[in-house]
Amino acid sequence: MRRTNKILLKGNEAVVYGALLAGCECYYGYPITPASEIAEASARLFPKLGRTFIQAECEVASINMLFGAAAAGCRAMTASSGLGISLKQEGVSYIAGANLPAVIIDVMRGGPGLGNIGPEQADYNQVVKGGGHGGYRCIVLAPGSVQEMCDFTMLAFDLADEYRTPVYVLTDGLLGQMMEKLELPEPRGCRERQDWSLRYDPEKRSNFVSSIYMDPVDLEQHNIRLNAKYDLIRQKEQRAEEYLMEDAEYVFVAYGISARMSRSAIDELRREGFKVGMIRPQTLFPFPVDAIRKYTDQAKAFFAVEMSNGQMIDDVRLAIDCRRPVHLINRMGGIVASVEEIVSRTKAVMEGEK
C-alpha cells in the first residue's frame, strides 16, 4: 500500500482518518472516555467532507442509527468503550442477525461496573464471543499501533462489506490516547450502493432486510447460514504477526499494548540468552489458531499476556489442544504490566522448569 502523507495523531484520531479514507459516510456515537476523541474528531471532520455526524442521545440510540444506515447500504461506524459497548449489544445482535455490514470501535477501559478510565483488555469475552443474544459472531481486529488504528479501521469496512457482518476494531485506552506518526494510506474510491440495500428508489423498494423468523425451522436454517459464513471467516481471515519465532522455545501470545510491552520484554530476555518469541493476534475472531498451532511441538510453554483476568488464555489453550502449559501474565484495573515485570515473571517460569 503506497503511503502519501505523514501526520502526528492520537490513535483515536487515526481511527477517524481511516474511516474517512475508507469511504465511511455516517458516524453515530456518544462520547465516553477514553474513546471521546473519536466522536470529537468525527464531529469536526465528517461535516467538512459532506458526510453525516450525529451525536445520539445515548449508546442505545447510536447503535440503532447504525443499524438503519447499514440497512440503507451506507458505510457507517460507531465507537464507544466498555459500558457503552455493553449497552449496544442488543443492536449488534440485530445487525448480525440481519446480515448487515457495520464497523464498531471499542476503546477498552477498566471494569467491571463503572470501573475507571484506565486502559484494560477485559472486553475480550464480550466482543470476541458475541455479547448480545443469540449465536452470532463478529470479526474482531486488534491493532497494535497508531498506524494500525487507521489501517485496521479501513480493513474493517472492507471485511464488513465482504461478509455482510459487524466488524469490531478492539483496542485499549492507551493505544487510543498515545500519539505516533501516521502515514496516511490512499483513499478508497466511492463504493456503489449495494444491491440488497433498502433505498427509496424504485429499484430497491422490493428489498427486505430482517432478523425475525417466527417459524423455528426457518430460524434454524438462518442460523445454519450464519454459521457457514463464520466457518468461512475462520478459514480465510486469520491474521497474526510473528516475532523471533524461528527458534523460540517459549512463546508469548499478546495483542494491543500488551504485545508492545511483550516485544520489549522478549528483546531483554534474548539478550540474556533465553529463546523467546511472540505471536501477536491481529484478528481475535477468527483467532489465529493456525499460526499458534504450528509451534506447539517446538515450544516448551506459552504465555498469555493480557490486561484482564485471563480472557484470551482459553483460546490459546484451545489452539494448542492443551498440549503445552499456558501461563498467564496479567494486570487489571487499568494497570499495564511493565517490561521488567513481564521479564521477571517469565524467567520465574523458565528457570523453574530448568
- pLDDT, tens digit (0-9, with 9 covering 90-100), for 190-213: 777 788 888 767 766 678 888 999
Q: For residues 328 and 306, is the Cβ–Cβ distance under 8 A?
A: yes
Task: Supply the CATH number for residue 249's domain.
Answer: 3.40.50.920
Q: Which residues pair with 119 in a beta bridge?
A: 109
Question: What are the DSSP E strand ranges found in 56-113?
Answer: 76-80, 102-108
Average pLDDT over residues 226-234: 98
Shared domain for 212 and 269, answered yes or no, is no
3-class DSSP state of 179: strand
Same domain (yes/no): 213, 308 = no
Yes or no: say if 246 and 295 are a contact pair by the CB < 8 Å rule. Answer: no
Residue ending a domain, choose from 236, 270, 288: 236
Is the pLDDT confidence value at 4 over 70? no
At residue 241, does pLDDT exceed 80? yes
C-beta separation of 115 from 82 below 8 A? yes
Does the structure show a pLDDT above 70 at 238? yes
Whether residues 344 and 210 fall in one domain: no
Same domain, 26 and 45: yes
Pair 281, 187 in one domain: no
Mark whether 159 and 251 lie in a shared domain: no
Distance CA 100, CA 156 (A): 13
pLDDT at residue 3 is higher than 70: no
Q: What range does the domain containing 121 cover?
A: 3-236
User: Rounded to an integer, what is the distance from CA 218 to the centroid of its chain?
Assistant: 31
CA distances, 145 to each of 75, 80, 85, 110, 320 (Å) = 24, 19, 22, 20, 27
- How much of the chain, in percent, has pLDDT values that exceed 70? 97
| Cell matching residue 246 | 524461528
The grid coordinates listed for 286 are: 477468527
Do the beta carbons of residue 168 and residue 140 sit within 8 Å? yes
Q: What is the pLDDT of residues 21-72, one digit of tens each?
A: 999 999 999 999 999 999 999 999 999 999 999 999 999 999 999 999 999 9
* pLDDT attached to residue 203: 66
Q: What is the pLDDT of residue 352?
A: 81
pLDDT at 7 over 60: yes
In the chain, the number of structural domains is 2
d(CA 47, CA 181): 25
The whole-angstrom separation of Cα 18 and Cα 235 is 26
Judge whether 124 and 284 are in contact, CB under 8 Å.
yes
Whether residue 125 is found in the same domain as residue 22:
yes
Cell numbers 485499549 correspond to what residue? Answer: 172
**pLDDT above 90 (res 335):** yes
Q: Is the pLDDT of residue 353 over 70?
A: no
Residue where a domain terminates, one of 236, 261, 278? 236
Could you count the other beta carbons within 10 Å of the beta carbon of residue 278?
Answer: 23
25 lies in the same domain as 168 = yes
Task: Clarify whether residues 12 and 157 are in a common domain.
Answer: yes
| 119 and 232 inside one domain | yes
Q: Does residue 224 sit in the same domain as residue 311?
A: no
**pLDDT tens digits, 61-110:** 999 999 999 999 999 999 999 999 999 999 999 999 999 999 999 999 99
Per-residue model confidence as pLDDT tens digits over 269-291: 999 999 999 999 999 999 999 99
Q: Once rounded to an integer, what is the mean pLDDT over residues 110-129?
A: 96
Rounded Cα distance between 204 and 69, Å, is 15
Q: Which of 176, 203, 236 is the last residue of a domain?
A: 236
**Per-residue pLDDT for 1 more than 60?**
no
Rounded-to-integer distance, Cα 85 and Cα 87, Å: 5
What distance in Å separates the CA atoms of residue 9 and residue 180, rounded to the nearest whole number? Answer: 6
82/201 same-domain check: yes
Residue 198 is predicted with a pLDDT of: 86
Number of residues written out for the chain: 354
Average pLDDT, the chain: 95
pLDDT tens for residues 154-195? Answer: 999 999 999 999 999 999 999 999 999 999 999 987 777 788
203 vs 87: CA distance, rounded Å: 35
Residue 123's SS3 state is coil
Residue 143, preceding peptide bond in cis (omega within 30° of 0): no
